[in-house]
Structure 1
């Protein structure tokens, strides 16, 4: 895999706006509340992070999520809109760290960090095949 450089992207931000559907509610995940489920909010923060680097990632490279260190601060009711923003803050070889924040119409609902790694798609799928 060709080395991809991301240092010049430090400070780059990407956002996405998303309306919470019933399928993404905590109720659909089994806890009975019509609010955005935490796993979905984390997933949205991953998508925002991927948007920051999407123009640099080409086959055979891909990025994979490694870690989340985020706090879900407040509930967002089903039907409301949430805006998720990721900012690339650090690059350590193939490991990328992003600050993530999500806000609904009332306040911040998530703050934290998300870490991704850039890997070779073919190697990754070979490892996956060996496990299945």
Structure 2
């Protein structure tokens, strides 16, 4: 697999905006609260990071999440809008680091980093098949 180059994308930002649905609430995850669930917020930060590099990804390359180091700082009630931003800040061969932040209408609700790796889709799919 020829690994795409990302060095020139350092500093590039992608943003996504979502209205929090009942299915995305902590209540749906067994917490009982009608606020955006932390796992969903982390997932949204991954999607924002993927958007930064999506134009560079060509088969068989794909990116996978490696790590999160983020703090969920404030609750976002169901029905409110959250805006998630990811900025590519570092490239180490196939390891990409993003600063992520999310805001709702009142506050910053998430701040941290997310790390992704660029891998070969076919090799990854084969490893998965070997495990099942």
State TM-score, norm by structure 1. Answer: 0.99
Secondary structure of residue in 2 paired with 1:55: helix
The Cα offsets for residues 40-59 of structure 1, whole Å up to 9 and x where unpaired, read as 00000000000000000011
1:84 and 1:56 map into 2 onto residues whose CA distance is: 21
Matches within 5 A, 1:30-49: 30-49=30-49
Q: What is the aligned partner in structure 1 of residue 108 from structure 2?
A: 108
CA distance in 1, matches of 2:58, 2:37: 31
Verify: 1:130 aligned to 2:127, yes or no.
no
Residues 13-92 of structure 1: pairs in structure 2 closer than 5 A: 13-92=13-92
Structure 1 SS opposite 2:8: helix
Whole-Å Cα distance in 1 between the matches of residues 97 and 73 of structure 2? 21
Task: Indicate the residue corresponding to 2:121 in structure 1.
Answer: 121
Query: What is the root-mean-square deviation of aligned Cα atoms in Å?
Result: 0.3
Aligned residues: 132
Report if the CA contact (8 A) 2:102-2:111 is conserved. yes
Aligned counterparts of 1:99 and 1:86: Cα–Cα separation in 2: 6
CA contact (8 A) 2:3 2:61 kept: no
CA contact (8 A) 2:6 2:91 kept: yes
Q: Any stretches of 5+ residues in structure 2 without a counterpart? A: none
Q: List structure 1 runs of 4+ shifted beyond 6 angstroms.
A: none
Shift of the alpha carbon at 1:3?
A: 2.3
* Ranges in structure 1 where 5+ consecutive residues have no aligned partner: none
Quote the offset at 1:4 in angstroms.
1.0
